[in-house]
């Protein structure tokens, strides 16, 4: 699997967007609505083919018939970096290699963009949501290519968990990315960036 994008969750999209723009000093671009999970988002392009997504429940539509992805139904507190996603070429082949609770494929659409996402019945991922959500894009399709360049580069992405050693072993058996670090401690997620305004973090 390959690092795809970072996710900032919140109880409202405006709060999430304001949080990221204040932290990184760059305006986000409009995203759209996700009908399956009744969420909406905004996006920011990063260097190296990555992007940053802010996402929240969409109050303009009825609640979904299943738990929302990224554990948004149980989200509490201020907007914060809450999840990340990794891309795979073949979701069906990749999922049996993942820890229990990584989810099952769900077809998702936003506007004219469609893809598959692995989502569990609880909307969570293993290791208290520190395990990446798996995403499968159609060949030749990726939203980062349509986003305005920002000059922001992810320098370090750190996952902290009481079972950090186990998480490290399982994760690095699936992904090789020197930007990703795993530490032992209370559950947390941190991202450090180089931006046109200097070093920033979420």
Average pLDDT over residues 142-157: 93
Classify strands 51-57 and 2-9 as parallel, antiparallel or unpaired. Answer: parallel
**Domains of the chain by residue range:** 2-146, 153-201
Average pLDDT over residues 43-58: 96
What does the pLDDT read at residue 110?
A: 85
Global pTM reads: 0.93
Rg (CA), the chain: 16
pLDDT at 127 over 90: yes
What does the pLDDT read at residue 114?
A: 85
- Of 49, 140, 136, 125, the closest CA to residue 88 belongs to 136
* Overall fold of domain 2-146: 2,3-Dihydroxybiphenyl 1,2-Dioxygenase; domain 1 (3.10.180)
Q: Report residue 119 CA to chain centroid gap.
A: 12
Taking CA atoms, 71 is separated from 37, 62, 66, 97, 120, in Å, by 11, 17, 11, 22, 10
Contacts of residue 5, defined as CB under 8 A and 6 or more positions apart, other chains included, come to: 50, 51, 52, 53, 84, 85, 144
């Amino acid at each position: 699997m390959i690092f795809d994008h970072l996710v900032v969750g919140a109880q409202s999209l405006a709060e999430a967007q304001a949080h990221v723009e204040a932290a990184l000093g760059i305006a986000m671009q409009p995203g759209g609505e996700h009908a399956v999970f009744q969420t909406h988002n905004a996006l920011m392009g990063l260097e190296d083919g990555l992007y940053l997504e802010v996402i929240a429940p969409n109050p303009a539509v009825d609640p979904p018939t299943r738990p929302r992805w990224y554990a948004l139904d149980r989200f509490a507190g201020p907007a914060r970096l809450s999840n990340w996603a990794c891309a795979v070429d073949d979701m069906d082949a990749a999922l049996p290699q993942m820890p229990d609770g990584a989810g099952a494929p769900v077809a998702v659409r936003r506007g004219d963009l469609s893809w598959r996402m692995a989502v569990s019945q609880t909307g969570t991922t293993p290791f208290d949501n520190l395990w990446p959500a798996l995403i499968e894009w159609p060949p030749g399709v990726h939203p980062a290519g349509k986003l305005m360049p920002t000059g922001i580069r992810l320098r370090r992405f750190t996952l902290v968990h009481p079972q950090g050693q186990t998480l490290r072993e399982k994760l690095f058996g699936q992904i090789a990315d020197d930007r990703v670090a795993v530490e032992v401690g209370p559950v947390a997620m941190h991202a450090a960036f180089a931006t046109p305004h200097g070093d920033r973090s979420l």
